[in-house]
């Protein structure tokens, strides 16, 4: 004899409710609602019990709470600090949302004080579903497989922009031709007569950084140049990292005559390190960046950089997540938009 009679998922009479979960867990309906909506004022023990029951009962928020086609709301997550990079991506997302009649809700995944995820993945996904989110867009994020699975369970589509990693190959992503960009920046410096060319990039495991670094290595190899291993540094896509690593490079006996920066912020940090040491840009050191954020033309001198179509990446991501929400099949889960080298005053012949 079965302990639980088989029920039809679409049967209103047998459909699992918050009251069902609350009765099974021995807690109030309000407590279950807090777990479903991702509230943090529930003990870890109680949360674990309720989460387990939600999974066992295959509970999803009522479909009537999902947004209608005319009031679609997309959750936009920046996994890190706001920057000139993310600001331009946001601008593209917002413009596309206005064109599509959708709204954007900005959220966070991690506590910025300790870098930890704010709520468990399943609670997070259920809270988005309960709030009627149509889709989720994450920029430069490090989602876990558990986050991807949790969104899939509540049928909320996900698109990642310029991902640092992809926990699942089937996750839709929008990026740029990072390999080509890294190669074009390096080729430009080689054409200017530079031979000791260094690379300062972001997180070593980040897929976009790896592609840019591979492009740098490919250009060097094609020119018959072997980069010194101490001329390659990877840490973070931040100004402070560029300044610190740039100072280390410029203190070497065989210091480079040029640096390929993994992003504009890194490049500007390297330029500041050179200034502190009394080196002139570009007379003593040429520097390139990557992104072409609004900071690049404002630098002194203006920064030569690889332009990513950041606003267009945001627009494509928004249109893609809405297409997925409408049940359309994507021609490709991974879209790469073309990069372009923009030559300004931070590079010169050597």
**Domain boundaries in the chain?**
18-55, 71-175+311-337, 178-308
What confidence category does residue 47 fall into, taking pLDDT thresholds of 50, 70 and 90?
confident
Q: Which of the listed ranges 21-30, 307-316, 321-330 does the model predict with the highest average pLDDT? A: 307-316
CB 267 within 8 A of CB 298: no
The residues facing 105 across adjacent strands are 75
CATH of 71-175+311-337, one of 3.40.50.150, 3.40.50.2300, 3.40.50.1260, 1.10.10.10: 3.40.50.2300
User: Residue 114: pLDDT above 60?
Assistant: yes
Global pTM value: 0.79
Average pLDDT, the chain: 87
Q: Worst-scoring range by mean pLDDT, 19-28, 182-191, 198-207, 299-308?
A: 19-28
Q: Say if residues 281 and 274 touch (Cβ distance below 8 Å).
A: yes
Residue in 228, 237, 174, 183 with CA at minimum distance from that of residue 205: 237
Question: What CATH superfamily is the domain 178-308?
Answer: Response regulator (3.40.50.2300)
Q: Which residues pair with 174 in a beta bridge?
A: 161, 335
For range 262-272, the mean pLDDT: 98
How many CA within 13 A on the CB side of residue 206?
A: 25
Q: Please, are residues 137 and 317 in contact by the beta-carbon 8 Å criterion? A: yes
Instruction: Name the residue with tokens 């065989």.
Output: 254
* Element housing 264 (H / E): helix 264-276
138-157 pLDDT, tens digit each: 987 677 889 999 999 999 99
Question: Cα–Cα distance between 53 and 105 in angstroms, integer?
Answer: 29
Residue recorded with tokens 């509970």: 59
- Name the residue with higher pLDDT: 109 or 200: 200
Instruction: Dig out the tokens for 141 from the structure.
Output: 């994020």
Beta bridge partners of 138: 77, 160
Q: Give yes or no for a contact between 199 and 189, defined as CB atoms under 8 angstroms apart.
A: no
Average pLDDT over residues 186-209: 96
Strands 73-78 and 133-139: parallel
- Report strand pairing: 197-201 vs 258-261: parallel
Residue that is written with structure tokens 């000139």 in the block:
84
- Strand-pairing partners, residue 106, are 76
Place 72 in a pLDDT band, splitting at 50, 70 and 90: confident
Q: What is the reported pLDDT for 108?
A: 76
Q: pLDDT tier at 12 (50, 70, 90 boundaries)?
A: very low
Q: Extract the tokens encoding 329.
A: 């099949």
């Amino acid at each position: 004899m079965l302990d639980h009679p088989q029920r039809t998922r679409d049967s209103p009479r047998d459909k699992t409710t918050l009251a069902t979960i609350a009765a099974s867990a021995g807690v109030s309906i309000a407590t279950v609602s807090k777990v479903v909506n991702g509230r943090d004022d529930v003990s870890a023990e109680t949360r674990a019990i309720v989460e387990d029951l939600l999974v066992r009962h295959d509970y999803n928020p009522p479909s009537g709470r999902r947004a209608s086609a005319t009031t679609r709301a997309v959750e936009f997550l920046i996994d890190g600090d706001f920057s000139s990079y993310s600001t331009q991506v946001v601008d593209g997302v917002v413009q596309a949302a206005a064109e599509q009649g959708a709204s954007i809700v900005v959220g966070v995944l991690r506590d910025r004080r300790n870098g930890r995820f704010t709520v468990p993945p399943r609670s997070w996904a259920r809270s988005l579903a309960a709030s009627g989110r149509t889709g989720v867009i994450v920029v430069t994020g490090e989602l876990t497989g558990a986050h991807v699975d949790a969104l899939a369970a509540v049928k909320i589509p996900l698109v990642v922009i310029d991902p640092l990693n992809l926990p699942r190959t089937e996750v839709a992503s929008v990026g740029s031709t990072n390999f080509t960009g890294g190669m074009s920046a390096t080729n430009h410096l080689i054409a200017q007569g530079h031979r000791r060319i260094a690379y300062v990039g972001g997180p070593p495991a980040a897929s976009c950084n790896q592609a840019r670094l591979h492009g740098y290595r490919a250009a060097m190899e094609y020119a018959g140049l072997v980069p010194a291993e101490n001329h390659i540094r990877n840490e973070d896509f931040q100004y402070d990292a560029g300044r610190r690593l740039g100072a280390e490079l410029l203190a070497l006996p065989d210091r480079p005559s040029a640096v390929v920066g993994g992003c504009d912020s890194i490049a500007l940090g390297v330029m500041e390190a050179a200034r502190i040491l009394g080196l002139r840009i570009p007379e003593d050191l040429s520097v390139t960046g990557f992104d072409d954020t609004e900071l690049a033309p404002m630098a002194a001198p203006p920064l030569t950089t690889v332009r990513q179509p950041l606003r267009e990446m945001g627009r494509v991501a928004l249109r893609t997540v809405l297409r997925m929400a409408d049940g359309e099949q994507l021609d490709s889960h991974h879209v790469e938009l073309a990069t372009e080298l923009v030559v300004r005053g931070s590079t010169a012949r050597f």
